Structure 1
Amino acid sequence: MRLLSITIILFAGIMFAQSSVEKFTPQLNAVVSSVGGNEELLVWVFFTDKGNETQNYFLKPSTVVSEKSLKRRAKVLSQENIISENDLPVNQNYIDQIKSLGFQLKQKTKWFNGVSGWATKAELAQFANLPFVKQLDIVYRFRKDNFEEEIHNEIPEESNQNLSKPTGTNSLNYGQSLTQVNIISVPQVHDLGYTGNGITICMMDAGFDKWTTHQVFSTMNVIATWDFVNGDADVENGIDMGEGSHGTSTLSLIGGFYEGQLIGPAFGAEFILAKTENTESETPIEEDNWLAAMEWADSIGVDLTSTSLGYIDFDPPYPSYTWMDMDGNTCRITNSADYAVSLGIFVVNSAGNSGYDVHNTLGAPSDGDSVIAVGSVNSSGTRSGFSSVGPTVDGRIKPDLMAMGSNNYVACNGSNNCYSSWGSGTSWSCPMVAGAAALLLEADPSLTPMQLAALMKSTASKSTNPDNLYGWGIINTYAALQSLLTNADNTTKVPEDFYLLQNYPNPFNPSTKIRFAVPEKSNVKIYLYDILGSEISVILDEEVNPGVQEIELNGSNLTSGVYLLRMIANNYQQTIKISLLK
């Protein structure tokens, strides 16, 4: 009987040991088997549950995410599913127990119910024996794709140099940034008053040096900052780890504003700045920092994110993702990006700078099926040779959209009025697309991420023949706005506001169409003036029913030149410039 008891105990011990070992992923096992016993590894510890005391969170969702986040989620989730267990805090008791065994905490993830941090092999074995530990894995770390910094000897394109205010058609002076916004039809949208107002954007980068002092950020509304590398609110260059010149440039591209120098698409938006990369490390991009930043931004109420993130292979003994893993489901950072989209966040990511190959050259998370992967074109609209290509392993077209990413005019951190056009990369094209998306969201905040993606694809340059070099092509922000405001689905929808759209075509000869909208029955007057403000004629003066309207202006009796159109209705006034070119 005693022998039988010993056998049962030994068998149970063997089974328990097996279950503990099985908690190690193959990737972590590979690393553990190749390092010394005292070497600390950066790992994930995932838990089985969130604990027992969770009901109060469901009774009051605003205790876990902000009201703004809940409002955004309501676009894609029913009220009963507005939060889930994924939103609840990680069980602090579980964290305390593994910390008591030697775990050094780095980040927490509510969405995946775990924590990242450092531990030795012996400590990992102890964690695996805990009943509430579900899985142990390595934290994937990437080396930054620094293509932008490696081409400083390239001569800037002449077409993007020495540009002054465009003649006649735009109300803002874009300076040398004109080419990069003009190629995606942003100035026409700015002329209609859209600037990204009311939209919250999270930028994730290696810091944002001089965001508080550079002239291009002087009017920027930054509502939150956090350094996920060093654990403080300072995202500029300081005494701690990391250098933020890259983020200075990407932030200026999406939302900078200094007339005569640089104007980004979404200069009227509010921004969240997350430092997620440590430039002092050989592997500065750590997936746990990015995931923690995304969860943080979600809780604040972010509408869209822009990440200029790329990767190349890891250093041994760390396992590496390859092009074969770009299937939208393998990489944890991709899964987290897709999950963010499911919560109503529009996620924009650089496609990568690895150029063309017989297989895809993408970097996670741009392989996500819900992530907008952005490639690069030059000022003439031709694909940049470095721009990464698809398809994903499961056959989906990538990249999704294109914008200018060659020799963009950006702010730099050399001084508070420093600008440059020497750099290139999909790091530059990504914030251009994200900024344009913010303008469209401002026009219709009810758009879900999938609706917004479809809108931008359907109005891009290759909408009818997408491929794995250009995706759906170069975005056309103005065409997307026109489609949004006047598409067939909205013909019976009463607009919320008055607006006057830019005429189309523009320049024109001899006629052009003018679209406008009224939210209520109103007397509408539209006047035509010359460039000096002298009235030429009254194009419209009548009572108009609610809805989107269109009239035609015939310029046969006019000479070539720039004219002004002014719409007046109730307390609304809007003036646009039009160009007649005979």
Structure 2
Amino acid sequence: MKKMVFFLLALSVCVSAMAYDKYWIVFKDKNGTPFTVNNPSAFLSQRAIQRRVNQNIPVTQNDLPVTPMYVQLVLATGNVNLRYTSRWFNAISIQTTDANALAAISALPFVQSVQPVMRYKRPNDDYIETFNNLSNAKQASPSKNKELLAYNYGPSFNQINMIGGDCMHFMGYSGEGMVVAVLDAGFYKVDSLPVFDSLWANHQILGTRDFVTGDTMVFEDHWHGTMVLSCMGGYLSGQIVGTSPKASYWLLRTEDADTEFLVEEDNWVAGAEFADSVGADILNTSLGYTTFDDNSMNHSYQDLDGNTCRISVASDFAVSKGMFAVCSAGNSGASVWYHIGAPADADSALTVGAVDAGGVITNFSSRGPSADGDIKPNVCAQGRDAIVSSMGGGIQTANGTSFSSPITCGAVACLWQANPTMTNMEIYDAIIKSAHKYNFPDDSLYGYGIPDFCMANIILSQSKTINLVENTHVYPNPFNKSFSFVLESATNQMVILELKDISGKKVYSAFYNMSENSVNTIEVGNLSHLDRGIYMLTVTGNELFYSKKIVKE
């Protein structure tokens, strides 16, 4: 029976050679490898090793590179080119049209499987909407405490303020010291657009790799990654400020936007493993995959269980190595296929859906849950009329979860910068707990809702000394247009005031500086536009926390 199975496999491989030229070869073991877990510096950078040490993550067998002799024997079978190797899957990606070589590879005793690879199709590409006069966009303006803002955000203020990114910036956390790997379809003109001048001037672009062509040239390819990067690292004062303008970036092209081959999934695996090896902290993936050109290889919804699609399994591998994985939910919410794609189904990935400027879910945002019942998306951020870089040197609006993902990803970098001793999953849990639907999530549209990174920072700081302020009264309560209250502060600190409606959605925020041993009267006005009802007022600082239910009449 085993001989018959092998014969059919070999026959299948030979027939496939007529149609495919790229293959995924999985090995059975890592016997004979010269690498050991006791000497990780032979295959991991010091930064990658330190990330594991910081989170008490051991170096394991799946960190070891594939056995070099196995690779050599595969290449010796004929006209075969090595594309890259995978430590995590104990596999290699090859390119060949040599049917005899494929049959010989299948016969090698250490080869477990030979799979032709085709790219998953994206059900809906991100669609771009531009207009010349950005003042017509429905974008929120900064609060009256404009002088307390860390940057002149311009029309990008709303997408940052919605998730508390401006608060993190004001506290001094803009992603400095964090390394983000952006896996995308290309980074057209990132080397010349003024929105990225500060990244280059401050040496925040750490390097580039093209896993599609095997070189380092990524600036002549697709524009998609350019817009994605601008949501995190872009900076044009008064126009756009990314959520992590001081983070450092690896720009990794894994997606070939012009083809329909599954090899993009394998490219992503190679990119993620590279990001691991150079010590990246966070991965952003604004890509999603579901179907093949060859319908017989399509993924069904049942496959989206976080454990079937190779890119999803790899995303969880990345998290197990101490990285934080952020990915877009997808843009298929209004189509027949309305589900999330891969790697959005990955168990440990922070999957991000899209809302509009007012915090309402968009029709295009792909829906969950995952096939195994996990809440997906996990959180949401602005993905309609998001402010991104244009290819002409300015800014434009864009629609898609491809942009809500990096907006969130940059805020993750700021939060982790503020809490460097926390693990990736502690950061993850705090973000989830900060979201406005945490207590009543849904498993298909918002997930846990819109995160509040300022609140997440407070959650992570609970081990510090926090003064729970009591005996402070808000007056008048109920209020109509304004209210006031008094707070005492024992130290110099900045506090963040937030007002949330009964659903947990933030409707107002402002910053206030308090002096040491001071008594501060805080007046909050211009609230006549709010609907009648119950609101939760919170004031948080480095050493105080105050909350109070108030009523708008």
Question: Paired residue for 1:510?
Answer: 484
Taking the aligned partners of 1:91 and 1:127, their CA distance within structure 2 comes to: 15
Query: 2:514·2:520 contact (CA, 8 Å) conserved in 1?
Result: no
Are 1:20 and 2:6 counterparts? yes
Taking the aligned partners of 1:514 and 1:268, their CA distance within structure 2 comes to: 33
Query: 1:165·1:173 contact (CA, 8 Å) conserved in 2?
Result: no
Question: Paired residue for 1:372?
Answer: 350
Question: Paired residue for 2:207?
Answer: 224
Query: 1:323·1:360 contact (CA, 8 Å) conserved in 2?
Result: no
Are 1:337 and 2:315 counterparts? yes
2:458 pairs with one of 454, 459, 482: 482
Question: Paired residue for 2:112?
Answer: 134
Deviates more, 1:218-227 or 1:162-171: 162-171
The secondary structure found in structure 1 opposite 2:386 is coil
The secondary structure found in structure 2 opposite 1:74 is helix
Unpaired runs of at least 5, structure 1: 1-13, 238-242, 494-506, 517-523, 529-536, 542-550, 561-566, 568-582
Deviation at residue 96 of structure 1 after TM alignment: 1.9
Instruction: Give the TM-score normalised by the residue count of structure 2.
Output: 0.81
Counterpart mapping for 1:121-520 below 5 A:
121-144=99-122, 147-149=125-127, 158-160=136-138, 167-220=146-199, 221-237=204-220, 243-283=221-261, 286-316=264-294, 319-355=297-333, 361-414=339-392, 417-421=393-397, 423-467=398-442, 468-485=444-461, 487=462, 489-491=463-465, 509-511=483-485, 513=487
Query: 1:323·1:359 contact (CA, 8 Å) conserved in 2?
Result: no
Deviation at residue 123 of structure 1 after TM alignment: 2.9
- Which residue identity lines up with residue 29 of structure 2 in the other structure? D
Deviation readout 1:430-454 (Å, 9 max, x if unpaired): 0011111111100111222221111
Instruction: Give the TM-score normalised by the residue count of structure 1.
Output: 0.77
The secondary structure found in structure 1 opposite 2:198 is coil
Deviation at residue 178 of structure 1 after TM alignment: 1.2
The secondary structure found in structure 2 opposite 1:71 is helix
> In 2 relative to 1, CA 285–480 (structure 1 residues): closer, same or farther, beyond 3 Å?
farther
Taking the aligned partners of 1:376 and 1:552, their CA distance within structure 2 comes to: 41
Query: 1:160·1:176 contact (CA, 8 Å) conserved in 2?
Result: no
Unpaired runs of at least 5, structure 2: 468-480, 496-512, 527-540, 542-553
Question: Paired residue for 1:547?
Answer: none
The secondary structure found in structure 2 opposite 1:149 is coil
- Which residue identity lines up with residue 93 of structure 2 in the other structure? S
Question: Paired residue for 2:69?
Answer: 93
Deviation at residue 152 of structure 1 after TM alignment: 5.8
> In 2 relative to 1, CA 514–181 (structure 1 residues): closer, same or farther, beyond 3 Å?
farther
Query: 1:278·1:285 contact (CA, 8 Å) conserved in 2?
Result: no
1:554 pairs with one of 509, 514, 521: 521
Question: Paired residue for 2:28?
Answer: 48
Are 1:114 and 2:91 counterparts? yes
Query: 1:527·1:540 contact (CA, 8 Å) conserved in 2?
Result: no
- Which residue identity lines up with residue 404 of structure 2 in the other structure? S
Question: Paired residue for 2:509?
Answer: none
Deviation at residue 149 of structure 1 after TM alignment: 3.1
Kindly, what percent of the aligned residue pairs are identical? Answer: 34
Task: Count how many residue pairs are aligned between Structure 1 and Structure 2.
Answer: 490
The secondary structure found in structure 2 opposite 1:458 is helix
- Which residue identity lines up with residue 269 of structure 1 in the other structure? A
Question: Paired residue for 1:532?
Answer: none
> In 2 relative to 1, CA 466–36 (structure 1 residues): closer, same or farther, beyond 3 Å?
closer
Deviation at residue 359 of structure 1 after TM alignment: 8.2
Deviation readout 1:261-311 (Å, 9 max, x if unpaired): 110111111111101111232448711110000000000111111010123
> In 2 relative to 1, CA 508–133 (structure 1 residues): closer, same or farther, beyond 3 Å?
farther
> In 2 relative to 1, CA 424–154 (structure 1 residues): closer, same or farther, beyond 3 Å?
farther
> In 2 relative to 1, CA 317–107 (structure 1 residues): closer, same or farther, beyond 3 Å?
farther
- Which residue identity lines up with residue 342 of structure 1 in the other structure? S
Taking the aligned partners of 2:175 and 2:250, their CA distance within structure 1 comes to: 14
Deviation readout 1:323-365 (Å, 9 max, x if unpaired): 1211111111111100111111110010111105798601111
The secondary structure found in structure 1 opposite 2:283 is strand
The secondary structure found in structure 1 opposite 2:206 is strand
> In 2 relative to 1, CA 218–160 (structure 1 residues): closer, same or farther, beyond 3 Å?
farther
Query: 2:134·2:396 contact (CA, 8 Å) conserved in 1?
Result: no
- Which residue identity lines up with residue 540 of structure 1 in the other structure? E
Taking the aligned partners of 2:340 and 2:23, their CA distance within structure 1 comes to: 25
Taking the aligned partners of 2:7 and 2:308, their CA distance within structure 1 comes to: 22
Taking the aligned partners of 1:182 and 1:514, their CA distance within structure 2 comes to: 26
- Which residue identity lines up with residue 402 of structure 1 in the other structure? C
Question: Paired residue for 1:497?
Answer: none
Are 1:68 and 2:51 counterparts? no
Taking the aligned partners of 2:54 and 2:76, their CA distance within structure 1 comes to: 42
The secondary structure found in structure 2 opposite 1:286 is helix
Taking the aligned partners of 1:350 and 1:200, their CA distance within structure 2 comes to: 19
- Which residue identity lines up with residue 441 of structure 1 in the other structure? W
Query: 2:27·2:110 contact (CA, 8 Å) conserved in 1?
Result: yes
